[in-house]
Each structure stands twice: as C-alpha cells, then as structure tokens.
Structure 1
Amino acid sequence: MRLKFSKEQKLLLIVLVVLFIDQASKIWVKTHMQYGDQISIFGLNWAFIHFVENNGMAFGITLGGKAGKLFLSLFRIGAVGFLIYYIRKLIQAGAGMGVLICFALILAGAIGNILDSAVYGLIFSESSYHGGLAELFPEEGGYAGLLHGKVVDMLYFPMIDTYLPEWLPIWGGDRFQFFKPVFNVADSSISVGIMSLLVFQRQFFKTPVPQTEEQPPIAAAVHSVEEE
C-alpha cells in the first residue's frame, strides 16, 4: 500500500529536511570548531569546511550596524511570511510540483538563516579566534540579544586560486579566487531554488492559449496539442 502525500505535505517535508541539514551542520561547526578553523573535505585542496560568521545576507554580504542587523532580521521574517502566502496561492491555482519545490527550497533557506539571526545569539556563547569552542546554552547567557545573532557559514570552495597576469590593466598581479564567498546549506537552498526558477521559468509558467470567439473549441484543443 502506497502512502499518498498532498502537495502541502511534500513541500513541508522538503522544508524540514533542508532545515535539519542546515541547522545540524551549523550547530556541529559552532560547537566543534574554533572560529576560522578549516578542514579539507575528502582531502581536496579546493573544498573546505571553514568556520566563519556574518551579520548580513547570503554568502557573507553584510549590512552594517545593529540597526542594519535588526532591519535585515525583520525583513527576512516578512519575506518568509510572504513566501508562505505565495506558495499557498500557487497550490490553490494548481501550480506544478516543479515550481512549488523551487519556492519550498527558497523558503527553507530563508527560515534557516532566520533561526541563526533570531536565536543563536541567545543560545550560544561567542566564537572567536583561538577563543575556544562555543558553548550551547551557556550559564552566563548568549553573546547577543533576540534577532541580533550571527549567521554561521562553513562551505568554502576556492576551485580557482591564482594570480592575474601582470600585463592586465588595473587588476594585473592581483590574486583571483573563484569561488571566494563562504556560505551554508541555507544559502545553497535559496540559490538552487532561484536558479531553477530562472532556468526553467518557461516550463514552470506556461501561458495557456486563450480561446477566442473566432476559434471554435475543437480548433483551440488542436492548437493546444500542437504546441505541446
């Protein structure tokens, strides 16, 4: 007997799986690595677990000051509320699973980074260079207030690490690294969701052929089949 899941249940499962992987990886890094520590993945010289934190958006992009941090946290919460509303509207409109999965990935990533900003400052001690491991639920309290926590990043893939030719104008001799930003599972989930929407937007958002008075129903049906 096969279990049948509704669209809502499938999307919820996707969100929960991404959130579990995201938060489990962040908590492990936070409690097992000192700030700035780096571990090679499978011995590769271009793939690392590199522990850093940031106050800002995806891939370490920052928005300065406490006011900026608070604004960003509140903006994220508002964005999550809008995403949930929009996904429900898409389901009611009969949207396909492809586009719904994309939005579920974006939603999961947004929630994952919100959790860091909202509660990590309350439940973790500070992580600092050579300052020991962070403690979960320290007796003296966390390192920041509500909505002022730092986002934990750890995925680092400098696949190209070289120096530009000296003859190149302006940037000649400068170090060139790709991919330089350090990110996390939540960032990856958001990026995959957005990129999939951009790449497959024509398949996801097909516009039905309107039926006009000059075009009888049979002709409209034939036209639709030909387009498919």
Structure 2
Amino acid sequence: MKYRHIVWIVIGILFIDQVLKFWIKTNMALNESFPIFGSWFQIHFIENEGMAYGLKFGGEFGKIALTMFRLIAVIVGFFYMKRLVREKYHSGLLVCGALILAGAAGNLIDSMFYGLIFSDSTDLTVAQFLPEGGGYGTFLHGNVVDMLYFPLFSGNFPEWMPFWGGEHFIFFRPIFNIADAAISVGVIAILIFQKRFLHKPGDENQKPVGTQPALDDTVA
C-alpha cells in the first residue's frame, strides 16, 4: 500500500463525515430525531464539547487542551503513517491507522471551526451556515456534531442487582458520528489482529541465536 492510498482513505472518510454533519447542522434542530430502520437505528442530533461518544474533559481549559492534543496527534499521525508505509507494514495496520487518523481529523474540524461558521443550534432553531452576526463560538471552541443512535433494546435491571437495581437502561445509549465510528473500528481491528498487523517486516528473516545446526563431531 502506498502513502497516497492512506491519504485518499482519510479524505474519503472526512468527506462523508463532514457532509453528514453539515446536513444535520443546517437541517435539524438540536435533539431532533427521525428513524432510519425502525426504532433501533435513528438519526438523533446532539452536540458535545468533549471527546467521542459525548464524553467531556475538564471544562473550558480541558476543551482547548483536547483540541490542541487532537491537532498535534493528527500532524504526528500523518508523519508516522508515512514511516509505516515506507517500512512496508501490513496493509491492515495501514488501513486501521488511516481510519483512526481520519476520525481524529473529523472531530478536530468540528472543534476548530464549527463555532466560527455556524450559528447556535437550539431545540427550536436550525443553525445557519456563515451567519451575518458570526458564529456561536470562537476558534477552537466549536462543538462536535453527533447523530448516529442505535437503541437496540431497553429494559430494567433486576431488583437484586447492586447500584442499578430496578433502573431503566438502553443498549446502545451513546450517540456518535462517522469520525467516532472510524476511530473505534480502527482501534478494535488492531486489537483483534495485533499479532498479524504489528509484525514488523523482516522479522521472519531473523533467526534466534543458537538455532544454527550443530556440527557432527563423529565426522572425521
């Protein structure tokens, strides 16, 4: 696999991620939803200020720190992927790395620019793209747009269960986006196939010390 293939994978995922986010942001009010396949797959528009799947990190300072960390990680990631391609690592690792890199870049775009280019989304109003009065935030202070919701099933925990006994639950509760999904798929695939993916090229040609055949002392 060549480096340009990595770049095209990243661009393709970014395009899908950003097109969907733009459509959601400019066509749906906050917390609005509609079904795709019955009740178990829905488009449900929310925004979050922090990490993937709606997690948050340390308030205002944490948000800036997280955005800067994403920026540094994406820049370093492109250089690291070039090294992996040059050293001819497994194509599966390269694809997974591209997925993770694309996901990080997708949410980074939201955090860096969405506060500048969109008006605020509320439960009653749909955001405008490039509003006359400026966006709802400043550089590095945009919210990440999430919309993929899979409430596969719900119920109540048994009364005898500690802490959550009798409480209502929904599986799968987190709402996420294409970028989050790309990161998750990339990380999970690497964990599952790590023995194959993380095998450094050339290792199979290295023989352990002491494996050379011994000379036959009986031969005159």
User: Would you say same fold, with TM above 0.5?
Assistant: yes
**Residue aligning to 1:66:** 60
From 102, 119, 128, the equivalent of 2:113 is 119
Q: Is the 8 A contact 1:7 1:97 kept in 2?
A: no
2:207 paired with 1:211:
yes
Opposite residue 190 of structure 1, the aligned amino acid is: I
**Residue aligning to 2:216:** none
Q: Which runs of 5+ in 2 are unaligned?
A: 214-220
**Residue aligning to 2:11:** 16
CA distance in structure 1 between the aligned counterparts of 2:55 and 2:210, rounded to whole angstroms: 55
CA distance in structure 2 between the aligned counterparts of 1:213 and 1:61, rounded to whole angstroms: 49
Instruction: Report runs of 4+ in structure 1 exceeding 6 Å deviation.
Output: none
**1:65-90 Cα shifts (integer Å, max 9, x gaps):** 22111111001001112211211111
**Residue aligning to 2:24:** 29
CA distance in structure 2 between the aligned counterparts of 1:205 and 1:160, rounded to whole angstroms: 36
SS in structure 2 of the partner of residue 198 of structure 1: helix
CA distance in structure 2 between the aligned counterparts of 1:186 and 1:214, rounded to whole angstroms: 49
CA RMSD of aligned residues (A): 1.5
From 120, 123, 128, the equivalent of 1:129 is 123
Q: Is the 8 A contact 2:89 2:199 kept in 1?
A: no
CA distance in structure 1 between the aligned counterparts of 2:162 and 2:96, rounded to whole angstroms: 41
Opposite residue 115 of structure 2, the aligned amino acid is: G
CA distance in structure 2 between the aligned counterparts of 1:12 and 1:169, rounded to whole angstroms: 49
From 91, 114, 118, the equivalent of 1:97 is 91
1:129-208 equivalences in 2 (<5 Å): 129-130=123-124, 132-206=125-199, 208=203
**1:110-152 Cα shifts (integer Å, max 9, x gaps):** 000000000000000000111x110000000000000100000
2:73 paired with 1:79:
yes
Q: CA deviation at 1:212?
A: 5.1
Which of 112-121 and 82-91 deviates more? Answer: 82-91
TM-score (norm 1): 0.88
Q: Is the 8 A contact 1:157 1:180 kept in 2?
A: yes
Q: Is the 8 A contact 1:22 1:186 kept in 2?
A: yes
How many correspondences in the alignment?
Answer: 210
**1:189-220 Cα shifts (integer Å, max 9, x gaps):** 0000000100000111226243356545xx8x
Tell me the percent identity: 46
SS in structure 2 of the partner of residue 41 of structure 1: strand
CA distance in structure 2 between the aligned counterparts of 1:183 and 1:34, rounded to whole angstroms: 17
